[in-house]
Amino acid sequence: MKKTFYIALTIALSSIVSKAQSLNYTDLGVLFSSEENLGTARFSGLNGAMGAVGGDLSAINVNPAGAAIFNHGEFALTFGVNNYKNTSDYYNTTTTNTSSDFNLEQIGGVFILKNYAYNSGWNKIGLSVNYQKTNHFQKRDLYRGNSGYADFYIHPNDEENEYNNAQSQRFYNDYEGDLSKLSFVLAGQFENNLNLGFALNFHSLDFYQSTELNEINEDDSAPSNVLDVLFEENNSQQSDGISVGAGVIYKPIHELRLGLAVESPTWYYTITEDYNSLTRFASIPTKNINAANLSPESSYFEYKLRTPSKVTASIAYVFGKLGFVNIDYTYKSYTALDLYGETDFREDNSYFMDVLQNTNNVNIGSEFRLGKMYLRGGFGYQQSPFKDNVDPRNIDVVKIGEKYSGSFGTGIRFGNSKLDIAYNKTKQTNEYDFNDRESTVNPAKIKNNNSRLALTYTYIF
327-358: pLDDT as tens digits = 999 999 999 999 999 999 999 999 999 999 99
CB 107 within 8 A of CB 77: yes
Cα–Cα distance, 454 to 20 (Å, whole number) = 37
Read off the pLDDT of each residue in 269-294 and give the average, rounded to a whole number: 96
Q: What is the reported pLDDT for 389?
A: 87
For 312-332, the pLDDT digits (tens) are 999 999 999 999 999 999 999
> Does residue 18 have a pLDDT over 60?
no
Q: What is the reported pLDDT for 16?
A: 45
The full length of the chain comes to 461
> Does residue 109 have a pLDDT over 80?
yes
Q: What is the reported pLDDT for 222?
A: 87
State what percent of residues in the chain have pLDDT above 90. 89
State what percent of residues in the chain have pLDDT above 70. 95
Cα–Cα distance, 172 to 152 (Å, whole number) = 17
What does the mean pLDDT of the chain come to? 93
For 113-164, the pLDDT digits (tens) are 998 776 778 999 999 999 999 999 988 899 999 999 999 999 999 978 999 9
DSSP state of 281: E
> Does residue 5 have a pLDDT over 70?
no
Cα–Cα distance, 181 to 130 (Å, whole number) = 8
Cα–Cα distance, 86 to 139 (Å, whole number) = 10
Read off the pLDDT of each residue in 418-444 and give the average, rounded to a whole number: 94
Cα–Cα distance, 46 to 379 (Å, whole number) = 8
Q: What is the reported pLDDT for 159?
A: 78
Q: Which residues contact 47 (CB under 8 A, 6 or more apart)?
A: 37, 363, 364, 365, 377, 378, 379, 380, 405, 406, 407, 424
Cα–Cα distance, 156 to 163 (Å, whole number) = 12
Q: What is the reported pLDDT for 14?
A: 44
Residue of 323, 340, 344, 345 whose CA lies nearest to 411? 323
Q: Structural domain tally of the chain? A: 1
> Does residue 400 have a pLDDT over 90?
yes
For 375-385, the pLDDT digits (tens) are 999 999 999 99
In the chain, the amino acid numbered 415 is G
In this prediction, residue 298 has a pLDDT band, given cuts at 50, 70 and 90, of very high
> Among 4-8, 142-146, 401-405, where is mean pLDDT lowest?
4-8
Q: What is the CATH number of the domain that holds 237?
A: 2.40.160.60
Q: What is the reported pLDDT for 20?
A: 57
Cα–Cα distance, 423 to 202 (Å, whole number) = 28
For 57-68, the pLDDT digits (tens) are 999 999 999 999
Q: What is the reported pLDDT for 391?
A: 87
For 207-246, the pLDDT digits (tens) are 999 999 999 999 999 899 999 999 999 999 999 999 999 9
* Domain boundaries, position 184: 2-460
∠ CA 310-64-332, nearest 5°, is: 5
CB 79 within 8 A of CB 104: yes
**Which is it for strands 359-370 and 292-293: parallel, antiparallel or unpaired?**
unpaired
Distances, alpha carbon 402 to alpha carbons 51, 114, 167, 388, 447, in Å: 22, 44, 33, 11, 11
CB 178 within 8 A of CB 145: no
Q: What is the reported pLDDT for 118?
A: 67
Residue of 73, 53, 74, 123 whose CA lies nearest to 369? 53
> Does residue 19 have a pLDDT over 70?
no
pTM: 0.93
Containing H/E element for 144? Answer: strand 139-145
